[in-house]
Chains A and B, each alone.
Chain A
Amino acid sequence: MARFALENRILDPEETLDRDALAALQGRRLADTVRRARAVPRYRKALEALGVRDEDLRGPADVRRLPFTVKDDLRQSYPLGLLAVPREQVARIHGSSGTTGRPTFVAYTRRDLETWSGLVARFLVAGGLRPEHTVHVAFGYGLFTGGFGLHYGIERVGAAVVPSGGGNTPRQVRLICDLSAEVLICTPSYALHVGEVARAEGLRPGDLPLRYGHFGGEPWTEEMRGEIERSLGILAFNNYGLSEVIGPGVAGECPARDGMHVQEDHFIVECLDPVTLEPVPDGEVGELVFTSLTKEAMPVLRYRTRDLAALDRSPCPCGRTGVRMSRVRGRSDDMLIIRGVNVFPSQVEEALLRVEGTAPHYLIEVSRPGALDEVVVKVEVRPEDFRDEMRQMVELRDRIDREIHAVTGIRMIVELVAPNTLERSAGKARRVLDHRKVAPA
């Protein structure tokens, strides 16, 4: 009998389907998904180009016959070109968490929303949520799938939601105490911040009513889990999801807390070498690729997440049969997640371009000195940008600061540095130094 940190309650029988039954279900749903995806011109063309016939799709392994989908397919289909149902069936629209000039939208039918809240409810229940609990949601509400995704999952379980949203941490701490929230939902770095603020307010871990926390939206480590658990006096659980696939609820931890069970009755997961696009052996890190099996409004075929993680197919003591994914170990592109927001170095470059006409040499340094991410952008001063008067130089720095904030939605510390002082390796500029310890080897 396995020993868990808490009672192992399983919400749906699908979570423990034996692998053969699961494969049969996946095969049926895959064929159905591809049939429905053909309503999208972009998918139809890609399927025809590869000569994929519906009758070829008999089991989950046949997912490998399908074309890949990447983020750029969503951008090029802006706003809702990948919609597979008539517009009047759309019940909600969310957007990517990135704040890039043009967001990417994802749509849900009424049934998709039911599916989604059911998936969120599964990992919440696995991680201790019970109908009698009160849950404090400190995720931002809005286009971002985190806030509303968790919100409706909590309601599905039957617990009470405090839709606090982001910001004003001392007030959040007060709300948690006054409303006796047992469960906290936010990004892991914000959870650490809540712990720091609570301590600053004179509260000790035992003084908070919190017992469990469900954290996602950015990569984190086992060390961070330990810190969060100590500072808040809770059990912390990891969950995974991305808006393009459905949002939070794609995978989540069980009481064994040794990997996140992918909800395989709704998604087929592949772990591929990002260069060859061939599967990597179980246990090795590769890029996660998801195919939705039940989504109606926006089915997604082999979506390349760019998230690097490993899969574990060994049986889990909790009884759930879904393959487990490791923590996200990094990205196969240069995307950074800063305080839960997706940021690309190209956005910083765009901001510099707006200020100075041509982009000077720059370096983005990311660290986590306390609980929250800190980003320093070092910008080399070019002779043509240099002015003799201090206020003009300060104004230059402030303009860069404002543009970066406008483009990325993130405040970064801008430092002007002397030319040719930033490292150039083999002619190719190094744009990012990430000092955060979020990718344990």
Chain B
Amino acid sequence: MKIRQLSLFLENRPGQLRVPCQVLGDAGIDILTLSLADTQQFGILRLIVKDHERAKQVLEKAGVVVNVTDVLAVDVPDRPGGLAEVLQGFEACGLGIEYMYAYSVRSRGEHATLVFRLSDPDRAAALLQARGVRLVGAAELFARAGA
């Protein structure tokens, strides 16, 4: 159920965000969702794309530092308190969240999809599924995006 995410090192100066986006665009690779973490001096851009191997290749060829990380995509009830419920499940399982962000592609009506980075994704996936938390696999995620 894991999703492979690309992480890119960016310096915090003008043009640094555009370059990798341009490279992916030129290669015809669609960015399904992204999140940017930044400090005053550098940032980490996290991307989910369908063909992550090819994306890594073209980015590295362009001189970008790229890492592949496993994350989980979780469907969360799209109503007040929905996220809190899911997070309670995380807590009950003793799962620490390194970071999270929203998946920007529309989900199926009653759900919003969030992307989580947890310290042990395999164990986390098993524990969460056992509690009935809905994980979204890569195939379904890309299908929803029409990718």
Contact = CB atoms under 8 A, between A and B. Distances in A.
A387 B8 CA distance: 9
B39 A390 contact: yes
Interface stretch (B65-73, B83-91, B123-131): B65-73
A390 B64 contact: no
Contacts of B30: none
B39 A419 contact: no
Nearest to A420: B63
Interface string A383-424: 100111110011000000000000000000001111111000
B63 A418 contact: yes
A224 B138 CA distance: 64
Contacts of A390: 37, 39, 44, 99
Interface string B7-35: 10111000010000000000000000000
Taking chain A's interface residues, is the majority helix, strand, or loop, or is none over half, making it mixed? loop
Given A388-B44, A389-B99, A418 B65 contact: yes
Give the 5 A-B CB pairs with smallest separation, nearest first. Answer: A388-B7, A388-B69, A386-B65, A388-B67, A416-B42
Contacts of A394: 39
B64 A418 contact: yes
Interface in B85-129: 98-99, 117
B11 A418 contact: yes
A415 B41 CA distance: 7
B44 A393 contact: yes
A413 to B, nearest CB: 9
B65 A388 contact: no
B50 interface: no
A386 B41 contact: no
Nearest to A385: B65
Chain B contact-residue range equals: 20 to 34
6 contacts: A381-B9, A386-B66, A388-B7, A389-B44, A390-B99, A393-B42
Contacts of B5: 388
Contact of B41 (A389, A416, A419, A420): A416
A386 B99 contact: no
Contact of B66 (A383, A387, A415, A416): A383
Contacts of B69: 388
Contacts of A416: 9, 11, 41-42
Contacts of A382: 65
Given A389-B99, A418-B10, A418-B16, A381 B46 contact: no
A149 to B, nearest CB: 41
A302 to B, nearest CB: 47
A392 to B, nearest CB: 10
B9 A386 contact: yes
A336 B117 CA distance: 44
A420 B65 CA distance: 10
Contacts of A420: 63
A388 B98 CA distance: 10
Nearest to A390: B37
Given A388-B44, A417-B42, 12 more contacts: A381-B9, A383-B66, A383-B67, A386-B65, A386-B66, A388-B117, A389-B98, A390-B39, A390-B99, A416-B9, A418-B9, A418-B16
Contacts of B10: 418
B16 A388 contact: no
A421 B40 CA distance: 18
Contact of A388 (B42, B46, B63, B64): B46
Contacts of A386: 7, 9, 65-67
Contacts of B46: 388
Interface in A100-114: none
Contacts of A381: 9, 42, 65
Residue in A387, A389, A393, A394 with the greatest tally of chain B CB atoms within 10 Å: A389
A419 B8 CA distance: 12
Nearest to A415: B41
Residue in B7, B11, B46 with the greatest tally of chain A CB atoms within 10 Å: B11
Contact of A419 (B7, B63, B67): B63
A418 B60 CA distance: 12
A394 B39 CA distance: 9
Interface string A323-355: 000000000000000000000000000000000
A390 B36 CA distance: 11
A173 to B, nearest CB: 32
B65 A383 contact: yes
A420 B64 CA distance: 9
A383 B60 CA distance: 9
A423 B11 CA distance: 16
B140 to A, nearest CB: 23
Contacts of B44: 388-390, 393
A387 B98 CA distance: 12
Given A390-B44, A393-B42, A419 B11 contact: no
A56 B10 CA distance: 67
A419 B16 CA distance: 12
Contacts of B66: 383, 386
Nearest to B8: A386
A387 B64 CA distance: 13
Interface in A359-390: 381-383, 386-390
